[in-house]
Amino acid sequence: MAKAEPTIIELREAALSRLRAATDLETTRAWYREYLGDHGAVTALTRRVASLPPEQRRAFGIAVNALKSELGAALAERQARLEASALETRIETEALDVTLPGRPVQRGFLHPTTRIIREICDIFGKMGFQTVEGPEVEYAKYNFDMLNIPADHPARDVWDTFHVESGEAEIVLRTHTSPMQVRTMLAQQPPVRVVVPGRCYRYEATDATHLAMFLQVEGLAVDEGITLADLKGTLTEFARQMFGPDRKTRFRCDFFPFVEPGVDFAIDCPQCNGKGCRLCKQSGWIELLGAGMVHPRVLEMVGYDTSKQTGFAFGMGPERLMLLKYGLDDIRDFYKNDIRWLRQMDRAWL
């Protein structure tokens, strides 16, 4: 037995010394195989237990097991230290110049007219207005006559109209999305609450504030008990959502053949806050849209009961809204589709 003691001690000394000398993980793994692996020296010791006299077995077994766990712990500790130091080295060598450029992503984005139309329809959507659409090439009957704009009436001159070659039925490029008022009311009974976005056309020379093709969002609400006060509330809410809660609003009388009473809705000029500037022609006010109570003749022509039903309608130009909201100065830019300009708008949006 006395002979066995130094063997374990020697083995321990040698093993620990070799382990201390290991400077990489591969060496520690070889060390493991040499001492603790299936064919390792310590494992060999445990196999010797069976060959010892029974009275020595217990003590020898305890000693070998102690050695085994000591070496195991030492290995784990050594490996942890080497791993930590390897990681440290890696981190030291892998430092990046974080100012190098990011890899470019080709990000697509929406056209500003798409975004403004959605914004407008969302605001009205929250007030219960549903989005509907109608044809851009339209019967004059819907674009004019049924909106109380008869032929040979000076009111028609307000809209310089593109006419389409057609047979007996007069067909035009719609000058506003208002014909959808008529189509909606012909298709269903009140209550009606819709907004109608879409492209419109006017035979008009293009300049910084006029386009031959442009967008309009028309709104219509018809029900029992709808009043001018409701129109005022709805438009005021819209203006505040669109231009901020501090915007002042102005409601004044104006004429549109399909409404009575007629309304011109303005906000105080966002550029000068109502003090008067070039944008608002010194008036302090910017006209946002035309509106009014649906004319009883329009309601009659679609077969609504004018003794019960009242309604309001409004129409606005989304491009003009953007000119005001973002301080742009040329409405033609929306349809030039210069990618550089579109990108600038995309970044300026929020």
For residues 306-325, which are near another protein according to CB under 8 A?
A: 310
How many residues contact another protein, by CB under 8 A? 93
The binder of another protein chosen from 20, 81, 163, 275 (CB under 8 A): 163
Q: How many CB atoms lie within 10 A of CB 168?
A: 4
Catalytic amino acids? Answer: 159, 176, 202, 216, 259, 313
User: Is residue 145 at the binding interface for another protein, with CB under 8 A as the rule?
Assistant: no
168 binds another protein (CB under 8 A): yes
Q: Contact at 8 Å (CB) between 322 and 341?
A: no
- In the numeric block, which tokens belong to residue 126? 């929250």
Kindly identify the residues of this chain, within the stretch 286-305, that bind another protein according to CB under 8 A: 293, 295-297
In terms of CB distance, is 54 or 102 closer to another protein? Answer: 102
Three-state secondary structure call for residue 252:
strand
- What minimum distance in Å lies between the beta carbon of 50 and another protein? 41
DSSP three-state, residue 107: coil
105, 107, 221 from 102: Cα distances, Å: 9, 14, 51
350 near another protein (CB under 8 A) = no
Does 332 sit near another protein (CB under 8 A)? no
Q: CB 173 → another protein: shortest distance, Å? A: 8
Considering only residues 29, 48, 68, 118, which one is a binding residue for another protein as defined by CB under 8 A?
A: 118
Could you give the CA distance from residue 83 to residue 41 in angstroms, rounded to a whole number?
25
Is there binding between residue 10 and another protein (CB under 8 A)?
no
Is residue 136 part of the contact set for another protein (CB under 8 A)?
A: yes
Q: By CB neighbour count within 10 A (0-12 exposed, 13-18 middle, 19+ buried), where does 267 fall? A: buried
Q: Give buried/exposed letters for 149-166 (b at 16+ CB in 10 A, else e).
A: beeeeeebeebebbeeee
**Which token pair is 152?**
């040979």
Going by the DSSP 8-state scheme, the letter that residue 178 receives in this structure is T
Q: Which of residues 182-201 bind another protein (CB under 8 A)?
A: 184, 188, 190-194, 199, 201
Q: Starting at the earlier edge strand, list the strands of the sheet with 213-224.
A: 130-131, 192-201, 213-224, 309-316, 285-294, 259-268, 249-253
338 scored as a contact of another protein (CB under 8 A):
yes
> Which of positions 77-106 make contact with another protein (CB under 8 A)?
100-101, 103-106
Task: Please identify which residue in 83, 109, 126, 210 interacts with another protein, judged by CB under 8 A.
Answer: 109
- State the binding string over 256-285 for another protein (x if CB under 8 A, else -): -x--xxxxx---------------------
Backbone φ/ψ region at 281: left (φ over 0), alpha (ψ -120 to 50), beta: left
Binding characters for another protein, 221-260, by CB under 8 A (x = yes): x-xxxxxxxx-xxx-xx------------xxxxxx-x--x
Shortest reach from residue 81's CB to another protein, in Å: 35
Stretch in the footprint of another protein (CB under 8 A) among 12-20, 33-41, 74-82, 166-174: 166-174
